[in-house]
Structure 1
């Protein structure tokens, strides 16, 4: 009974009308009074912010804030891949012949995640990493590699929480949530899929890149609410990373070759 009640609560958070209400309120000036509370409760790093918290017109404006220019150092080794976000490493590993990945002890289908077997085939025997962004984190997304966008698409409908609670009681949120997928061909002929998974289904993912050519560390978009990024690589050897490790934009996660 408890599990059923918790599952119902998760389902409720994916309701589009509730999502719209939350989005409308947090983007309005009436949410400003929550900014100091949000900043304090989630211990936001004021030193990283481009502007002080009191400068933002709404809670959503604070949530989608930019960093001070130059505050993140981008690993510039030509064969490296870097973290596209500030977050926590939830899981990482190899993609085997079964074409599944394991996230928090859940087996997820690469085909379902990407929207079809034809999209998934390139990543067989490749690698994956999952990075979770909590409310504490900076929520803009940057390119993990140098390369050219070969495909982009939007999948999914409702969006459930992607925290531990949502992963446990939701309906496969990482493979069914509203998500935007950007596939990038690197100059070394490898491929990377940047899968941006929303946690609320009303305009929760926004794309900002203006060209199909991306430089490592270049901004690609941002999340309006809580979120997760899943990276798939055709060929990548991971560097010294570990589960539950905090990671920042531009830090090396692995290298090609």
Structure 2
């Protein structure tokens, strides 16, 4: 029962009344009394926490927690591309000639996700990866590669859940939810990282505004449930997984591909 309640707090819908009630509770001092219960319900590793559990005044503060230095090992090979988040790599493949990618057998147009026509074209024939973050996961987002920041922009107003049911029954939440997008450039090719909220406006927060990113450097964080979509131009990377592998549990900093 508790686990279902906690999931509801961090995977809210775009119903403004329901969302507002749970959001207010999650950011109240009263919710902080549930932090240990939240940890127990999701079997969260307390040894990784930057601070003791009683340091976090609300369940929201705990949700956006940072980790101890060294808690995540980033693959240091110059040619490696690493996971930007902790979570499940649910889908990956090739962006088709119509600039679509596919999640749960639904097509997602890049022009809807990115909102910029010229930007969309460059990813045709490239690679996409979709990462889902559950309530138990570390919700900070990091750069998958050392790169120059080309541009940043935001799209969308409201958000639906991005869990399996939300992806199956929602109105293509990965392309319609509120999202912050960062486009990077490496080896004269582009990488787009779309940080997709699953609550409402401003559930995604930027924490990096510099022109250059180091591999593994923090980009931002999610206040509530969320997903990340990574896009790579054609010929930039070779993925580290077989095409028939499904739902791979992965940690931030682990290798997901190699620069070609």
Match of 1:125 in 2: 125
Aligned length: 245
- 8 Å Cα contact 1:80/1:256 also seen in 2: yes
| 1:94-133 superposed matches below 5 A | 94-133=94-133
Q: Deviations over 1:83-137 (max 9, x none)?
A: 0000001100111212111111111111111113222111111101000000010
Match of 2:206 in 1: 207
Deviation at 1:81, TM superposition (A): 1.0
Match of 1:239 in 2: 240
Q: Deviations over 1:34-67 (max 9, x none)?
A: 2122111111111211112222110001100001
Q: Helix, strand or coil for the counterpart of 1:217?
A: coil
TM-score under structure 1 length normalisation: 0.91
Deviation at 1:210, TM superposition (A): 3.5
CA RMSD of aligned residues (A): 1.4
Q: Which moved more, 1:212-221 or 1:26-35?
A: 26-35
CA distance in 1, matches of 2:110, 2:259: 21
Deviation at 1:21, TM superposition (A): 2.9
Which runs of 5 or more structure 1 residues have no equivalent in the other structure?
1-11
Match of 1:248 in 2: 251
Match of 1:225 in 2: 224
Which runs of 5 or more structure 2 residues have no equivalent in the other structure?
1-11
Match of 2:69 in 1: 69
TM-score under structure 2 length normalisation: 0.90
